[in-house]
Amino acid sequence: MGRATLGAHALSYNGWEFIHEEVAIMAYDYRTLLVSKEGNVAIVTLNRPEVLNAVDEVMHSELVGLWPALAADPEVDAIVITGAGRAFSAGGDMRWMQSTIQRSFLGQRQTMREALDILENMLRVEQPIVAAVNGPATGLGATLALFCDIIVMSETARIGDTHVRAGVVAGDGGTVIWPLLVGIHRAKEYLMTGDLIDGREAERLGLVNKVVPPEELMPTALAYARRLAAGARWAVRWTKMALNQWLRWGLTLTQPAAVALEMLTFNTDDHREAVQAFLAKRQPQFQGR
């Protein structure tokens, strides 16, 4: 990814930086992400379709840098994020999880640091972000979708935070966003069971904004993005920034504990069993260790 700086004037308030001028021309070059543009709308595609766009070490790192790059791009007034193939994202790649088990404490800490950076950087993006959930969105995949500003979901897709099924704490942001969207008791239900929700139920619960047939997904998401991009730029962007204070508060309140506890569960026998069961295509047998 290259960057040519044009100059910037910024106003900082409570940790946020509000960009007043065009700041950079961006060239996007990623291994696991595709970034294209339709006018002033950037389209980000999670691009590991052979594994349902599961997040490996490379994609995890690239997601950290993606959001600042988009935020600094003067050609982008709105963003749509979707998945290649038949999934939005299956969350963390279990093969990566297997290697994470074998890492040192410092290696695990780096992964958890990136997990926090992805969310913090995403919340700093002033441009509206629209999720086009085209298929399964689980674990970190669900969090990426739900941290967007508008979520459009295919009626054939399913969404859920499945961390517990992998024997780990929902440390990618689920403890932040789910209570704000569906209330604390439903959040506990879905995060402690790892159950998946279809599009219509997600819409009924208020988890997503709109559910449409698969063929209408991208046109609907792009229509939202173009409408927001055509609005009064600073009114739209700074309204979003004000609302994102709720998410920043939630991030500050729960995320450090969730990340730390997730790191601890990476070292449990139950997590090892979940990974081994996934790779062997069998049901895990948890022992509470």
Looking at residue 102, what is its pLDDT?
Answer: 56
Q: What CA–CA distances, in Å, run from 194 to 55, 119, 164, 284?
A: 18, 21, 6, 14
* Token reading at 21: 């001028």
Residue 171 or 53, more confident = 53
What is the residue extent of each domain of the chain?
2-280
| CATH class of this structure's domain 2-280 | alpha beta
CA angle 108, 66, 140 (to 5 degrees): 50
- The whole-number pLDDT of residue 106 equals 64
Burial of residue 187, with CB atoms counted within 10 A of its CB: 0-12 exposed, 13-18 middle, 19 or more buried: buried
Closest residue by Cα to residue 176 from 90, 264, 249: 249
Best CA proximity match to 90, nearest among 15, 179, 162 = 162
Mean pLDDT over the full length of the chain = 88
Residue 104 dihedral angles phi and psi, to the nearest 5°: -75, 170
| Pairwise CA distance, residues 47 & 58, whole Å | 11
**pLDDT tens-digit readout, 78-103:** 999 999 999 999 998 888 776 665 56
